[in-house]
Amino acid sequence: MSDSAFTTDGEWNALYIDGEWVDADDRDDIAVENPATRETVTSVPAATEDDVDRAYEAAAAAQSEWADQPPNERAGVVEAAVDLLDEHRDDILRSLSVESGSANAKAFAEWQTARGITARAAGFPFEMGGDYKDSMIPGKDNQVKQEPMGVVGVISPWNFPFHLSMRAVAPAIAAGNGVVLKPASATPVVGGLLLARIFEEAGLPEGVLNVVPGSGSDIGDRMASHPELDVMAFTGSTDVGKRVASQAAENLALPAMELGGNNPHVVTEDADLDAAVDSAVFGSFLHQGQVCISINRHLVHEDVYDEYVERLTERAESLPVGDPTDRDNVIGPIINEDQRDQMLDYVETTVESGATLETGGEADGLFVEPTVLSDATNDMAAACNEHFGPIAPVVPFSDDEEAVELANDTEYGLAASVHAGDLGRAHDLADAIDAGMVHINDQPINDEPHVPFGGVKSSGMGRYNGDAILDELTQEKWISVQREKRQYPF
Ligand code: NAP
Ligand code: MG
């Protein structure tokens, strides 16, 4: 049964600060639009810089008492959140469809990954503790305690709004931090206020989590530079990430940055072509290509190039496009006009510079046809830019050395995939590709709650998931105990 308290199409006209749903009053409205139907589904108030200040103050004030709760208390709240994710699974799936244009497979995968990291985080309170180190000083004990960092600011994007908010929020709360979350303007409910509702219902004490929807250009600087901020957990584009990281660093807050990607899918001539194309279709077209770890470029050996292009084109043409609330549709809408226009421009420019449009290239409203571009080179617009669309430029290579050179010829280093018949060869390629994550005989879209997730080069700094995120959200404190009277030299 659907419960409108947990779906985007409910009533959300409030901010969530210090455990209270704060009325819109004279604040601006953010209209939440269903990108498939272009209807306004609900509206939320835009937080002001004063709201951001109050949110940080509330998080800082609530944090130490929360951190002092015994581990079973903190774990219990996060476990209750997991139960709510199960109970409201269909509400969350529906919200992902209407608010972020997610087809069923993507919405389900997003719910599942969010649930995975929340369940993993529920273990953190018991895993935190610390260490004991022998001392060089006679009669001394060295204790090393693991403590929360303090206040974690979270800024998240619209493409996987629920998961990319939750992967920071749940671990931060579990580890005893206070949190201020600013979701993307296109997805303020499923990336923001819905998390507030879940943790409120789960019994989280007031003030520990605060949610302030608002435009990045209005309140982003305040989010990143607030003096109470200790960790800035940002997921989004590299340009904005650099600005946010430098503002956070100004106050010596730790930047945890998950940024853009330009992920290559490398296919050698001895690869299983069926498997390589199956992977390619999923990795390029899941969520219309609006995934930081989706395939941005297909690098294919010249001996199998024509056949690969032909099969990929056939598969791209077979994908049903339309409103994702119809479960048969695989390709939903692009989030907004700006994103659509930019990706169509990349396609047009790429064709002008000599590539062949095998299929696609057109849009009907916000629905962009799955697009395959052959005879592409690495410097063409659809290849060298993070296109964030259902667009597959296919670039030929002649040997492994060239494949690696092409793969690494980008400022980014987030994810990659390699298909090769010989596993040793695949491993050599995976080793040589500069990326935080490389998947052999698969495609790059993978995210598991116990495995470190993140990029190198301009794709960011720090890692999510597993032990890595617990390390980022905690700090060590050394307490020593001198058991015997110490002998000083003077
Ligand atoms: P974006 O424009 O950088 O926005 C991300 C977030 O930053 C949004 O909440 C946005 O708010 C906010 N923001 C905008 N300007 C800001 C400012 N000056 N100060 C502080 N915050 C500001 O990215 P996007 O278009 O939403 O998402 C697409 C990008 O995210 C792609 O580059 C993609 O690769 C990357 N991404 C990376 C990962 C990863 O794990 N590495 C995952 C998903 C996405 P508004 O919405 O109000 O503008
Ligand atoms: Mg943006």
Report the pLDDT averaged over residues 370-374: 98
Q: Is 49 a catalytic residue?
A: no
Beta-bridge mates of residue 33 = 40
- Total domains in the chain come to 2
Question: And the tokens for 332?
Answer: 């939903």
Rounded Cα distance, 265 and 441, in Å: 10
Q: Does 313 map to a domain? A: yes
Q: What is the pLDDT, as a whole number, of residue 392? A: 99
Q: Is residue 135 part of a domain?
A: yes
Return d(Cα 224, Cα 248) in angstroms, integer. 5
pLDDT exceeds 60 at position 1: no
What mean pLDDT comes out for the span 43-55? 98
Same domain, 389 and 471: no
> Could you tell which of 235, 294, 387 is best to mutate to test the pocket of ligand 1, judged by most ligand atoms within 8 Å of the CB?
235
pLDDT digits 0-9 by tens, 155-180 = 999 999 999 999 999 999 999 999 99
485 found inside a domain: no
Task: Determine contact, residues 204/166, Cβ cutoff 8 Å.
Answer: no
Contacts 24+ apart (CB under 8 A), 308-313: 308/267, 308/273, 308/276, 308/277, 308/280, 308/394, 309/358, 309/372, 309/374, 309/394, 311/273, 311/277, 312/277, 312/280, 312/281, 312/358, 312/372, 312/392, 312/394, 313/358, 313/359, 313/372
Annotated active-site residue in 57, 99, 228, 258: 258
Report residue 138 as tokens.
């006679």
CATH of the domain at 333: 3.40.309.10
Active site residue 310: no
Average of per-residue pLDDT values in the chain: 97
Q: Are residues 192 and 268 in the same domain?
A: no
Q: Same domain, yes or no, for 246 and 347?
A: no
pLDDT score of 4 more than 90: no
Q: What is the pLDDT of residues 85-142, one digit of tens each?
A: 999 999 999 999 999 999 999 999 999 999 999 999 999 999 998 999 999 999 999 9
Q: How far is the centre of ligand 2, averaged over its atoms, from the C-alpha of 84 (Å)?
A: 30
State which residues form the domain around 215: 14-259+459-477
Mark whether 249 and 286 lie in a shared domain: no
Average pLDDT over residues 347-365: 98
Q: Please indicate, yes or no, whether residues 249 and 267 belong to a single structural domain of this protein.
A: no
Co-location of 194 and 115 in the same domain: yes
Confidence of residue 2 (pLDDT cuts 50, 70, 90): low
490 lies in some domain: no
Beta-bridged to residue 413, according to DSSP, are: 456
Model pLDDT, residue 9? 87
Confidence tier at 296 by pLDDT (50, 70, 90): very high
219 with 298, same domain? no
Residues 226 and 267 in one domain: no
What CATH number did the domain enclosing 106 receive? 3.40.605.10
User: For the segment 429-488, what is each residue's pLDDT rounded down to a tens digit?
Assistant: 999 999 999 999 999 999 999 999 999 999 999 999 999 999 999 999 999 999 999 999
Does 15 score more than 70 pLDDT? Answer: yes
Ligand 1 atom closest to 464 (CA): 40
Q: 273 and 419 share a domain?
A: yes
Q: Is residue 414 part of a domain?
A: yes
